[in-house]
């Protein structure tokens, strides 16, 4: 049980919330069509604020470099999949190859880094 409550896991928990709210904020911002749809942009703004607050709290438990790599990498993948699925946005072969490199990079960090993630 102590593993579930470790400092690293607390940081990862808050980081996952930061990632989820960041991805959703980008989704709502895209739905907002610039600043045309004020409601969607308002939701995006609130989600961005929550995302940054959660990331800031996660920094209490994680190193900044690792947090940012995970936040940006997982966020890119999730945003691309969400945009493709729900917004009908097309990702070309080069985009998918780049996303593949991100996945490989995240895997290397998670599996081989001396830093607990």
Summarize pLDDT for 66-105 with one digit per residue, the tens.
Answer: 898 889 999 999 999 999 999 999 999 999 999 999 989 8
Examine residue 23 and state whether it is found in any structural domain, yes or no.
Answer: yes
Examine residue 59 and state whether it is found in any structural domain, yes or no.
Answer: yes
Rounded Cα distance, 62 and 51, in Å: 16
Examine residue 46 and state whether it is found in any structural domain, yes or no.
Answer: yes
Examine residue 102 and state whether it is found in any structural domain, yes or no.
Answer: yes
Rounded Cα distance, 3 and 10, in Å: 10
Rounded Cα distance, 79 and 85, in Å: 10
Q: Could you give the number of structural domains in the chain?
A: 1
Contact 87, 30 (CB under 8 A): yes
Examine residue 117 and state whether it is found in any structural domain, yes or no.
Answer: no
pTM of this prediction? 0.84
Q: Tens digits of per-residue pLDDT, 27-61?
A: 999 999 888 999 999 999 999 999 999 999 999 99
Contact 61, 10 (CB under 8 A): yes
| Domain ranges, residue 66 | 7-112
């Amino acid at each position: 049980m102590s593993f579930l409550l470790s400092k690293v896991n607390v940081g990862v928990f808050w980081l996952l919330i930061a990632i989820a709210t960041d991805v959703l904020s980008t989704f709502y911002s895209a739905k907002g069509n610039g600043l045309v749809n004020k409601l969607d942009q308002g939701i995006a703004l609130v989600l961005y604020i929550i995302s940054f607050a959660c990331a800031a709290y996660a920094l209490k438990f994680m190193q900044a470099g690792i947090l940012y790599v995970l936040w940006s990498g997982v966020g890119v993948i999730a945003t691309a999949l969400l945009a493709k699925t729900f917004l009908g946005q097309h990702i070309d072969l080069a985009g998918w190859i780049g996303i593949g490199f991100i996945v490989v990079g995240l895997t290397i960090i998670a599996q081989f880094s001396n830093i607990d993630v």
